[in-house]
Amino acid sequence: MAATIEDFERLDIRVGTITDAKPFPEARKPAIRLWIDFGGEIGSKRSSAQLTEHYKCDQLIGRQVCAVVNFPPRRIGAFESEVLTLGLPDEDGAVVLIRPDFKLPNGGRLF
């Protein structure tokens, strides 16, 4: 089934800055808990992301990332993931974050 431009427009993909990152040992697959600031309109949201192959928690703080902010929250163990942080797999399947080349205002929308 082909996606339409209307399907894409329903996704709300924003840029935000990671303000905190902590290990998530309770997750079934290795993951990191993220707190991401999307600016005034959206505020700070939480995300669980399987980033442990390429990233350490302290390396993530201050990094800008892209995330889908209008999916319903998803409970992962005792943690509620509010946004889907976006990444692509490397040649071994490990996640590499999608992020802007330049510093952008938090909350900027992909279009």
Summarised one tens digit per residue, pLDDT across range 45-61 is: 999 999 999 999 999 99
- pLDDT in the model for residue 39: 97
Reading the block at residue 73, the tokens are 């929250």
Which residue is associated with the tokens 């974050």? 97
Within 10 angstroms of residue 93's Cβ, the number of other Cβ atoms is 8
Specify the 3-state DSSP secondary structure of 96: strand
What is the enclosing helix (H) or strand (E) of 15? strand 13-23
**What's the pLDDT score for residue 77?**
86
The single-letter DSSP state of residue 77 is T
Cα–Cα distance for residue pair 54/45, rounded to 1 Å: 22
Which of 67, 65, 69 lies closest to 100 in space, CA to CA? Answer: 65
Dmax (CA) of the chain: 41
The pTM score is 0.94
Low-confidence ranges of the chain (pLDDT < 50): none
Please report the domains of the chain, with CATH numbers, ordered by start residue: 13-97 (2.40.50.140)
Residue 1: what pLDDT?
A: 85
Q: How much is the pLDDT for 111?
A: 86
